[in-house]
A and B are shown apart, each in its own frame.
Chain A
Amino acid sequence: MSNARLVVGPFNRVEGDLEVHLDIADGAVTSARVNAPLYRGFERMLEGRDPRDALTITPRICGICSISQSAAAARALAAAMGLAPTPQGARVAGLIHAVENVCDHLTHFYLFFMPDFARPVYSARPWHRQVVERFTAMQGSGARNAVTARAKLMHILGLLAGKWPHTLAIQPGGVTRRPSAAERVRIRSDLRGFRRFLENELFGAPVEEFIALTAQDKALDWGRGDAGLFLRLAGDLDLAQMGKGAGRYLSFGAYPGPEGHGFAPGLWQNEALRAPDTDAIVEDVSHAWMLGAPSHPSQGQTEPDLDMRDTAYSWCKAPRMGGQPMECGAFARQLIDGHPLARDMAAQGGGVLARVAARLLEIARTQLLMEDMAHGIDPDASFMQRADLPRDGQGVGLVEAARGALGHWLRIENGRIASYQIIAPTTWNFSPRDAAGTPGPLEAALVGAPVAAGEDTPIAVQHIVRSFDPCMVCTVH
C-alpha cells in the first residue's frame, strides 16, 4: 500500500468532538495529529465572577466527568480559603466521586469500547457471535444490563448529590447533605446490588478474585463474564501490542481522606515511582490555536487564536511535566498505586489491553472502596466545615477523574476570580505536539497502528483511541 493521508471523523463513542489526521505508509500509521475541534472558553467565562460560581460553572464543562470538575473546584476553593472538609464530609464527597468514576468506566467498557468488536470485520473470529450478543451498540444484552446497573448505582447520587450530572453538593468544606442512618443502609444496599451485577455479569466471579490477579498472562486466561470475553479477544487480537504507551504515567491521587488516598498519587517514569512535581507543569501552545507563551497554569492564560493559524491544529494546549508528555487514567492510577497486575502490564508495554484491563481492575477495586466509604459513614458527625472566602488568594485543586489527572488553578483578586486554569486528563492524553515537536501520548501510541487496504476509518485506530476513554469536552473546556 502506498503513502496516504486519512482524516477520521466524526469520531463517535468518545465524549465530545475528536478528529484524527493520519499519515499512512506500507499499511501502518507513520504519524498522527489529534484535533480537538471544539472551543467554548470556560476559563474565560469564570474571570470576574464570584469564586463560588466555579462550583456551578465548572461541572458543566463536562456531562460525564461533572463530579470530578466539582471536586477539583471545591478543592481549589478550599485551598484558597485555608479550609479542609470535615473527615465525614470528605468521605461522602469521595463516595459521590467514586460512583461517578465507576459509572464512567462501565459506560466506557459496555457502550464506547466493546461495540467495535461486534463489527463485521471480526465475523470470522471464534468470539464474535458472543460479542455481538453482549455488546452490539444499543442492542447487546450486556450493554442493556450495564445501563440498568449504572442507573441503579446512581441512586446513591440522587440521595447524596441531588442529581447527576451537575450537582452542587460537593463544597469546599464538605457536602451539602448529611445522610441519615437509614440512608446509610440504603446506600449499602445499593452497593450490594451493584456488586451483584459485577459478579454475575462483568467478572463472573467475586470481585476479590479479579483483584487478586497479578500477571497479564493469567488475566488473559480469566475466562469468565464479560471481562473474560474481552480478555479472550484481547489475547486473540494481541491488543497488548497495540497502541503501546511511552512509559510515563501521572496520577494526582484519588479519594483523599484523613487516612490518605484511596489510590495513591505519583509519577511513574523509567520504571520507577516518585512524587509528581506540579511546579514542573508547563502548558505549551505551539500547536494549539491559542496565543501566549508556554506557562505554568498558575500563570497561564486562554487567548484563542481567532485566525486559527495553519501551524496549529487543535484547540487543546499541550501540557508537559518536566518537559515530557504524560499519560494518565485508570492504568496510570493502578500502576502508580502499585497493583501487581498493572505493574506487569506496564512491563509489557501498556497498550490497549493494559488500559482497558486496568479500568476493569479499577471497577473491582473501587467497589471495595465504595463499600468501605459507605460503611464508615457516621450520621452523627459533621459533614460541613465553613470559612469565608479571602479577598485575595490562590488555590489548586488536584483530583483524579475517571480519565485521569485533573487540575484547577485558581487566583482570587478583590473577591473575584482573576484567573482560572484547568488541565483535564484528556488534555494530557490527547495533547498536540509541543514546540520541540514531541507528539502527545495518543499521537505517539497511534504510530505503527495497522491500516488494511481500503479502510477509511481504521479499526485499529479506533481501538487505540477508545482505549484512552477520551473526554474531549473536558480537554479544551
Chain B
Amino acid sequence: MPLLDIKNLTLEIDTGTQSIKALDKINLTVNSGEIRALVGESGSGKSLIVQAIAGATPPNWTITADRMSWSGNNLLSMSEQQRRQILRKDIGVVFQNALASLDPSVTLGEQLEESLPDQLVEGNWFWQRKQNRRKVVVSTVHKVGIKDHEHYLRAYPHQIPTDIGQKLMLAMALISQPKMLIADDPTRGMETTTKVQVLKLLSRLNQTRSLGILFVSHDLLAIASMSDTMTVLYCGQTVESGKMKNIRKRPLHPYTKALLDSAPSFTKDLPPKSELPTLAGTIPTLQHLPIGCRLGPRCPRAQRDCVNVPAVRKIHDHSYSCHFPLHRDKS
C-alpha cells in the first residue's frame, strides 16, 4: 500500500482577473521505504506540490484531485485538525530556503525542542523530561552532521551559515520520527562533501527505518545516486515517471533527455569543452503558459499535434506523456 497516493492533482491560482492552472493533473505515489525523486526546473511546480501535500496553501489556491490519500485516508476531505495531526506525527517536511523558514526570534535549540513531540520523551518528572528532551535534541543534531552543538543550538537563525541551517531543518523534520520525509531541495548550494554526507544520512534512514522519502530537487547527480524512482515535471505537468534505472538508460520524453544531458558527469564520452546539448529558449512564466504540451515551443520534436495535451501512456511501470516519444524512431 502506498504511503502517499496522488492522482490528477490540479492546482489553480486565482489572480483576480484570471485563474492559472499551476499544476495540471499530476500523478505521484510514494511507497513506504521508497525514495521517490521529484525533478523539475524552477517554475515547474515542485514546491507547489510540496505545499499542497503539507496543506500550507494561501486562500486563493484551489486544489482539486481525484485522489489524494495518506495511507488510505483521504487528505482532502479531512478536517484541518486531523490533517495537522498526520503532518505532525507522520510527515516531516524540509522546506526550501531553510534560513527563511526558521523562526528568527527563537534560538535553534528551543525550536528543535519544541518540534519534539511529548510522547517521544522519556521520564515522569519534569526535570527528567527536560534532561531527556535535551539529550534527544543533541543526538539528532549530531546525527545530521553538526558537531559543535553547544554553539549552534544557542545561536539564532541569522547567525549561522546556510548549510548548517539546512541541516537543522532536516533535524527538525526527523526529530518526530516520521514515516515519510518530504525534502524540498535539501542540498541546494551545498558543496560536494556536505552534500554526500546528507545524502548518505537520508539513504541510511531509508534503509534502517524504512523511511519513505520524497526528494524534490533539480540536482540530478544527487538524485541519481540515491533514488529508486523518479518523476519529472515540466511547467506543472508530469512529463515522465518510472524507475530511475530505466529512465536513465532510456528516457522517452525529449525533456527528460535534455535534463539528463545537462549534467556532463553522466555522459562518458563527452570531449572536454565541447558544446553541451540543451533545449533552446527559456522556461515560460506561469502567466504565459503555452497550450497543449507545455514543452511545445522549446521541443525539438514538436509537431502540429502538440497543441493538444498528450495523454499519459504506460509501458510497464514507466509512464510518459508525449505524442512523439524518443523510442518511436529507433524501432
Co-complex (A, B): no
